[in-house]
Amino acid sequence: MTEASPLRALNRDVSLGLADDAVRGISPLALAIHRFLLWLRSPRPYLMIVGFTLFIGFWYLAVEVWKLPRFSEMPGPTEVVREWFSRNPTYGLSVFTPEYYLHIWVSTRRVAIAFFLATAIGVPLGLFLGWSERFKQYVFPVFELLRPVPPLAWVPLAIVMFKGSETPIIFLTFLASFYATALNTMLGVESIDVSYTRAASCLGATRWQVFRHVIVPGAMPFIFTGLQISVGVAWFSLVAGEMVSGQYGLGYVINTSYTMVRYPTIVIGMITLGIVGYVTSAAVRFVGDHLMQWRTRELALGGDR
């Protein structure tokens, strides 16, 4: 090692520190825009476009050109787009009909309620499961016993336990979301290096202060990863619930369209479900970046720490 090596290391640390100070003064929105611009300059968006083009191209060729046996009854992309953007849709549902947006609103409202309840209950439960070994011994066996039970298996009990058609759907949507949130939160707490809690205790921190200032911030990346998974599985459960009960919603549209042989409307409902689900996941990710500004700054700096 030459004497210049420590100097280069020092200059690098100083430059990173100055960069960190500069990034610290930038708002979360500016950092999000910066990351978006970096994303645009990367090959990822263009590879994404290629992927969608290949998928739609295969769909078009298989259904409308080659007319493969397994795809003969499926609607092609031309028929779906024509129906989706028609002012006078053949099957009564398009972007120009108010009923289309009513279905989206009802499904989104149900998911929002279930997701809020799953977050409000699942995050504290996951924190205590990971923090307290005694609490975990009591609760986790019951949690693991019920977690593999699919939401559809709860349909009869949900109808018995809750009155009306709205509450059972929200309950079924809540279940899958709750398990994903609680489990990821617990794993986040267990991933924290025990040396951090010991160091905080040695510095005089109380158990509550360790929990508040070490455990909760340390588990935040896992929590928001779990919330992104949670909002996705909430949509899965919602569609299943709406197929069983309900008069509105995207799951109801898909199920009713199949019963009435409206195949283009089935595809419209599926694509709409994917778009709305993607937007909700992106919203959760944006909120997570805002609450974890230290992580946003780290990503903006490229993680060279």
Per DSSP, the residues of 216-253 read: HHHHHHHHHHHHHHHHHHHHHHHHHHHHHS-SSSHHHH
Name the one residue in this structure whose structure tokens are 């979360």. 28
Whether 236 contacts 176, CB under 8 Å: yes
Question: pLDDT class for 187, splitting at 50, 70, 90?
Answer: very high
pLDDT value, residue 267: 94
Residue 80 tokens, joined: 């779906």
9 or 184, which is more confident? 184
Q: In the predicted model, what is the mean pLDDT of the chain? A: 83
Q: Enter the tokens of residue 117.
A: 């309840």
**Is the pLDDT confidence value at 4 over 50?**
no
pLDDT grade, residue 266 (50/70/90)? very high
Instruction: With cut-offs at 50, 70 and 90, classify the pLDDT of residue 296.
Output: low
Least confident of 83-87, 139-143, 219-223: 219-223
Candidates 102, 147, 144; CA nearest to 250 is 102
pLDDT at 264: 94
Q: Which is higher by pLDDT, 173 or 23?
A: 173
- Which of 137, 168, 170 is CA-nearest to residue 155? 168
DSSP 205: -
84 Cβ contact partners less than 8 Å away, ≥ 6 residues apart: 94, 95, 264, 268, 271
Confidence check: pLDDT of 136 > 60: yes
Q: Would you say residue 178 has pLDDT above 50?
A: yes
The mean per-residue pLDDT over the stretch 62-71 comes to: 87
- Residue identified by tokens 């990503």 is 299
CA-wise closest residue to 91 among 246, 269, 235: 269
pLDDT for position 31: 67
Most trustworthy range by pLDDT among 28-32, 150-154, 295-299? 150-154
Give yes or no for a contact between 284 and 225, defined as CB atoms under 8 angstroms apart.
Answer: no
* Mean of pLDDT values over 91-98: 92
More confident of the two residues 305 and 107: 107
Decide if pLDDT at 25 tops 60. Answer: no
Express each pLDDT in 211-259 by its tens digit: 888 888 888 888 988 898 999 899 988 888 887 766 789 999 998 998 8
Mean pLDDT, range 61-74, rounded to an integer: 86
Residue 91 clears pLDDT 80, i.e. is over it: yes
Cα separation, 243 vs 231, whole angstroms: 19
Place 158 in a pLDDT band, splitting at 50, 70 and 90. Answer: confident
